[in-house]
Chains A and B, each alone.
Chain A
Amino acid sequence: MYSFDYVKPGSIDEAVAALQAEDAQALGGGQTLIPTLRQRLAQPSVLVDLGGCLDAGVASQDGGCRIGGGATHASVAASADAPKWLRAVADGIGDPQVRNRGTIGGSLANNDPASDYPAAVLGSGAEISTNARTIAADDYFQGMFETALNEGEIITGVTFPKLEAANYQKFDQPASRFALVGVFVGKGAGGVRVAVTGASESGVHRWADAEAALAGNFSTDAVPGAPSADGVISDLHGSAEYRAHLVAVLTRRAVAAAG
């Protein structure tokens, strides 16, 4: 690792101020950032540890729930205040030790194109709160590792709505435990949403054809055939055609499991 300064502010305001320094970088649970630093792929001047100021709680709210930006995956997975479908998403991330450190805020700020939480946030129509504003999921994800966050903006919490039926299906990439492809299907007051992670070169996205078909008939039979493989990730773990095929398969499984 390159050398950097380290600060652990006691309040969000102090953290925001610390992040104004040139090349400052926020640190959540560090489960992506620390390996990145170790490979010398990033060279921050100062690391601002958010562990001393972020809310890490999970609270039920209007049939859905509100999760603090510092909540670990393990605490979401274990919380009776989070809906079952969300607990299952959290419980499938990484391995137990990663889940004990990794946070929802960190996962969403990083927006890895194959991570799990972005699919659940986009597929449920959740809202992301920051120190400055609230951002709808549809506006938040802007491509691979790209988000609507401004420089130095901190995710303070995520609000998930009540859903009538929801499920996330993940096809594990067995070495990394990221999703080779993952599909979240959610049915709620806003209709049916289908969000896909791991497949697109533009990161997490909604599958409009499936949403339209499922809106009138929420059954596995209604799920369309595989989407086009154009713009789908192709690498040594799977071709674009294979991933596109998985999108349809996992959508059917998610609909069946959502019930």
Chain B
Amino acid sequence: MPSISMTVNGKSVSGEVEGRTLLVQFLREDLGLTGTHVGCDTSQCGACVVHVNGESVKACTMLAASADGAEVATIEGMANADGSLGVIQQAFQDHHGLQCGFCTPGMVMSAADLLQKNKNPSEGEIREWLEGNICRCTGYHNIVKAIQAAAAAGA
């Protein structure tokens, strides 16, 4: 069993995993960070998106052992230190960028990656970036508006 250690939301963590343990399983089942969701289980829906060394990845399509030594960020790390919502999260609430909320953790993490690469994305660039995040409620319009607002607010 590989023993792994990584930084998750700024905190050092370690654990014993099987070779086949997925990063999303390690986060949810070993660390109890259930904000990262498992939606499709087939790398399509993006509900499981987290950041590994600053890049957004699908945590259901990466082995936990491959993230050994990495810096991982999840939705639990997106709130401000005082527990209030971070800029992107607040924008999703303000613009009604969610209905059932299942896809939202992945949407927020994906948007955060976009906004660190492109501070002022166009509507088209946002829509293209969200290719790997599926939402079955909103029709995406309010998600796009939320990300535009987050960009304007300097997220």
**Interface positions of A (Cβ within 8 A of B):** 1-6, 8, 27, 30-31, 34-35, 37-38, 46-47, 49, 51, 74, 94-98, 100-101, 175, 177
Contact = CB atoms under 8 A, between A and B. Distances in A.
Interface in B102-132: 110, 113-114, 129, 131-132
B55 A74 contact: yes
Given A97-B57, A101-B57, A6 B2 contact: yes
Interface in B45-73: 46, 49, 55-58, 61-63, 65-66, 68
Interface of B: 2, 18-20, 22, 41-44, 46, 49, 55-58, 61-63, 65-66, 68, 110, 113-114, 129, 131-133
A1 B18 CA distance: 11
A51 B57 CA distance: 15
Nearest to B56: A97
Counting chain A CB atoms within 10 Å of each CB, the highest count among B22, B49, B62, B110 belongs to B62
10 contacts: A2-B20, A6-B65, A8-B68, A27-B63, A30-B63, A34-B43, A34-B61, A35-B61, A96-B132, A101-B62
Contact of A6 (B19, B49, B129, B133): B19
A178 to B, nearest CB: 12
Dominant SS among interface residues on chain B: mixed
B58 A47 contact: no
Contact of A95 (B42, B65, B131): B131
A5 B41 CA distance: 22
A133 B55 CA distance: 33
B58 to A, nearest CB: 5
B65 A96 contact: no
A30 B56 contact: no
Contacts of B57: 97, 100-101
Contacts of A8: 65-66, 68
Nearest to B46: A97
A95 B61 CA distance: 13
A109 to B, nearest CB: 17
Contacts of B62: 30, 34, 101
B10 to A, nearest CB: 21
A17 to B, nearest CB: 18
Given A6-B2, A49-B65, A51-B66, A98 B20 contact: no
A55 B49 CA distance: 26
Chain A to chain B: the 7 pairs with minimum beta-carbon distance, closest first: A95-B132, A6-B19, A95-B131, A100-B55, A1-B20, A97-B58, A34-B61
